[in-house]
Structure 1
Amino acid sequence: PPGAASQSSFQTPSTEGGCTDIICCVFLLLAIVGYVAVGIIAWTHGDPRKVIYPTDSRGEFCGQKGTKNANKPYLFYFNIVKCASPLVLLEFQCPTPQICVEKCPDRYLTYLNAHRSQDFEYYKQFCVPGFQTNKVRGVLGAQPDWSHSLLPAVARRCFPAIHAHKGVLMVGNETTYEDGHGSRKNITELVEGAKKANGVLEARQLAMRIFEDYTVSWYWIVIGLVIAMLLSLLFIVLLRFLAGVMVWVMVTMLILVLGYGIFHCYMEYMRLRGEAGSDISLVDLGFQTDLRVYLHLRQTWMAFMIILSILEAVIILLLIFLRKRILIAIALIKEASRAVGYVMCSLLYPLVTFFLLCLCIAYWASTAVFLSTSNEAVYKIFDDGTCQFAGKTCNPETFASSNESRLCPGAHCQFAFYGGESGYHRALLGLQIFNAFMFFWLANFVLALGQVTLAGAFASYYWALHKPDELPAFPLFSGGVGWGVPTGESPLTSASLLSLLAAENKFAKFLMTCLKCCFWCLEKNIIRVAVLDKVTDFLFLLGKLLIVGSVGILAFFFFTHRIRIVQDTAPPLNYYWVPILTVIVGSYLIAHGFFSVYGMCVDTLFLCFCEDLERNDGSQERPYFMSPELRDILLKGSAEEGKRAEVEE
């Protein structure tokens, strides 16, 4: 046919491309080797048990299987009042002996009351292992091997069971307690000690409750994520054949879902009217570790209702003012659907990206935990505050015969925290920073790799003159090496520039003028890029919100036991919002992964269209590579924009 010779000799961008950023690739490989070395060192020195189990004064774990404290999961403080010392905040350890016990005390006792009575057998389990009564000197002596008094306690660590009765703080039925030295103390002193000791543990307790929720609900979370994946895949497949219908169904369903959310918030707001404590403001309540408390406040549901109402109004207004652009975007999505139909394997590539991201997150998290737990046990001298050596490091095996022990008879060498003086321990902070840096580098590399691969595959589709006959056998792999690398980087750079241009300020215009020689192709088509690209992104965002909203509502009704059919199947939870938020975030990531295929397809087709316009003129010698449908969509829009520009001039 005419022009066949010129067509066969014409070099498309897919054949002209080559490898880029080789030096950066070498740096990345070297960094990965160093990252693996850091992980090996961390795994050699680290011990995650330090995060899970409490530690006694000797640095031994409480409740750890295979140790002598396997049946002693609770940590007992000899004198909880000492935990009110500022040393707690500096060393994260109370300056009082601590031992592992099978259970916390359930009664009030002092050594004077328990000695030589039937209660002494019960009392001895709260003494240091190996304690001997014949070592007691005087009345109480100076030995720190026993607790002067026992107080009823609750929680995994043995804190006093303090409660309020008619506004008065009490332990059991008492407002004061005997400290074992012949004097009585006020309960408020116990409160200060318990607060300081509990302050450094609240975050860990919250994390442990969340971890417990994950252990009993992880399989239901996985089921929710699988449902989100199936919905996303079904949506994408239907979009392939019913793009126009699916877009409007998606918009309508999203408006209905948001409307139901507003209705539900209003009903909860009205239900709480008149209930005691429901009118407390969020500011007065402050931060609470039990986040379920916030759901009993009317102000919380009012805030949710306002947020959803604003979101609903914004979406409706955007649909009204962008209705014509949406019609063009739908036509562009239909063309993208054809490209996706010819490269169906592209729909599965988000699973590869998801798997690689999971590897990055798992490696980073495990390395961070092992690095944070690779410190050695550090022992320091603890005293009431009169010893000049208090706070200095010591060796518990030799402390009894040391000079410090003779000069400070009441002092004792006690486990303080995990640290170290070696070069490795001094470099732990730097290694943690390097671990975080490599995580962000590898995560962004994985995301960019997915963009490069998909862009290369869709570019192969576009630059095939006779579609689909001239498509390569495996476009997902063959297109990403040559054309894919520069194309994959271009959408990111272009998106950043378009965000600046949208502001229409002088600085953005100055940057655009400076970079005109590099982005002359996009500059000539900037209006269509900004409009069509953002409108299609908006439509895809609505689709993601629809999937996330549907799965989130289903998870909410399931984990709050509101579905009668499976009411007894849902696991009991400390915080039901933990699996719900996990399902919502995971559903969004999954939906984003599938919709990113279409987003990258639209971006690539448009960039190729711009390049096609500059290289070719539609003649037999230089024919357009764009499909007739894409030509009708974009060239018609180009003509309309040109006429509008002439009128404005």
Structure 2
Amino acid sequence: MAGSKICTYGNKTCWVVAQDTESAFFRCLPVASTNETVLAETCVDPVDADPSCTVALYEAGKCEVVCNTKRVRKDVWTVEATGGTSPLLGQLQGYLQVLGRFLSDMYAARTVVLLVGGGGALLLGIIWLLVLQFFAGCVVWLTCSLVLVGLLLLSLFCSVRSELITSEQLGGGLAFMNATTIDTSSLAAASDANTKLQFKAAAYVAWVATVVVFLLLIAMRKRLKIAVAIIRESSKAIQQLPLLLFWPVVPTAFFVALVIYSVAVAAYLLSSDDLTAAVQQSAEVFNVTSAVATTEALPAKTTQQILLAFHVFGFLWTNQLLQAISVCVIAGSVAQFYWTPASGTGGRRELEARFPIARALRYTLRFSLGSLCFGSFVIAFVQFLRLMLEYLDRNTKQLQQGNRIVRVAFLVVRCCLWCFEKCLKFLSKNAYIMIAMKGSSFCAASARSFKLIFKNMARVAVVNSVSFFLLFLVKLTIALAVAITVFALLSSSSSLSLSSDQLALLGGETVTSPLAPVVVACVLAWLVASAFVNVYDAAIDTILLCFCEDTELHGETASEFMSSELQRIMGGDPHSADKSIKPTVIHVSPKDAAKQKSPRPLIESTGGDDKTASMSGEDAANNTNLQMQMQLQTQRAQMQQQQLQLHAFWQNQIQEISQIDPNAFDFKTHQLPLARIKKIMKTDEDVRMISAEAPVLFAKACEMFILELSLRAWIHTEENKRRTLQRNDIAMAITKTDVFDFLIDIVPRDDIKPAKKVRGAEEAGGEPHERGL
């Protein structure tokens, strides 16, 4: 209050407030006001008449003489702030009024903004999920057609303006164009020489671009089909894992907590007192000579800068680690979906884990946290280098103004670091997906993902381009739809506007202007759509890498893990029961069946149509027997599949050997060392002559022998719950087969341990980490 010396805190005496103030952002701003005071009124004509006597009063007989002219004296005074009137103060008062109305409208429409901007955006995202699953092909091909037509029209327009194409050449096409709103003759006549030259160059570029895009669409049609199928498969994955849509809430909450903590610690660091005085005082007690050296070694400003830089790097590292964990959890959940063969109706995949997201999070934190920390450290280090470069750039502005080489060097280094960071983020994201898929280290996952991307560069480029356009379209349409809906509900001129009673039921009020709620709702919808799109983008990248890994292992053929659409594109038969799988790779192991409460065989038995009866939780003995029967059924089914694969493989090998033509076959280009084989064959003195076909047949026999022994050894490896084939496994395979008796004393081995029983491992509480797929 103006003129008061009493504070509101503790009734203490304060300074005199000479002017009225108002509170804004915890600050007292002076209120400037202008007042007018009427001091005296006198009548001039006639003199000394009553100045208040008017014609009406005179006719009513209330006064004697009408005052024709009077003089009024006014005193105008203005209260200004100390030091004069500030123009900034007037602008600030205007901005505060606008901000006040903005916040008032936001508070009045808070319910509509949250419901439409948050819930409505999420509902639109789910609708887009269904649209992309069923109509992704239409959207993609329609977009490609519109791009091609647009380039064609642009080429024709530039050609007409540059007079490369005349009416005689176009014929009916020009007549059609003239029948529309485009007058080509007037356009060509209005062009001067320079303009024609520019349009001629543009026409050449446009025609080249049109031809290139047309040829690319023809050459990339299969890859476009694969991109559409991958997008549809990602939609199915998110539909089967709906909780993934709410997963971004977890890393966002941790990020908000990280920002609050980082801001608080930075505020404490920036407001910290001088450290040199305390160090110097404690040092003088013990050794006075070391006081000066200690003070010079710990200047306050340098120490504060070092601590602040360390704190900033910790913030960057933690932020990247949160993003890495988020990507790894999404990728792990979607990878479980892809590497589970479709068994239900409609191509539905029955996941083994009851909570696949929780399982992916547990595997990530338990087995892959070190790899994620290393990958996030590399990205954070590059980001920290960029911040240090910005700091140097800001402190060397004067040097850069006088030296152009230094300024160019800063720009080049800044651009290189930015590009390097983008490349690292791209490679790291794919490495995180491989870590979630296979459980390997960061370096091995980076090398593997880079190899897959390099070998499938065209597919990756097409899928990324198509997904970028579709996901941007999703975000844009969701934000625009939410903005239009909020405007229609809050605008008084709209037929869909809510009445005051309806707003009161929702806990809101009538707004003065719908602009502020529309802007906030649009921003909220964009954030929700971005979170949805980030999950969808990570799912697309995961399905893409899983598909590339699948084709790398099985070749350019259909596998049982692909969807029916992908199988048709890759040339397979989606209705065939016999999937084309190479026998040397077994992706899904039945080891997880023993860990489930109600285990399900991963490969159904081919004999009979009998179904396993549902387990009853009341009888523990029947439950245990049923589990053991299902485990044995799973092992028999897998062994049967391996035998079928081996049988088909040996038939192919025998057919290949029988079709060898000595005249057409180049024995010098064989992969195995034929000279070494020929030398071994001549160790017997009775062998005099060796034909050209004999070493080849022996080499093929060696390949068959190595493969047979490896498969038998790998069965022993899986029985022992391991993923690495060791020499003990080879020794066990030799002892189990009479054909290999001659190798028992040759192969070095340790003490052979018997295979672990599944039930024994289950009773021991061991839960092996199976991350390989």
TM-score, shorter chain, exceeding 0.5 = no
When Rg is computed on C-alpha atoms for both structures, the one with the higher figure is 2
Greater helix share, 1 or 2?
A: 2
TM-score normalised by the chain length of structure 2 = 0.36
The two structures have a TM-score, normalised by structure 1, of: 0.42
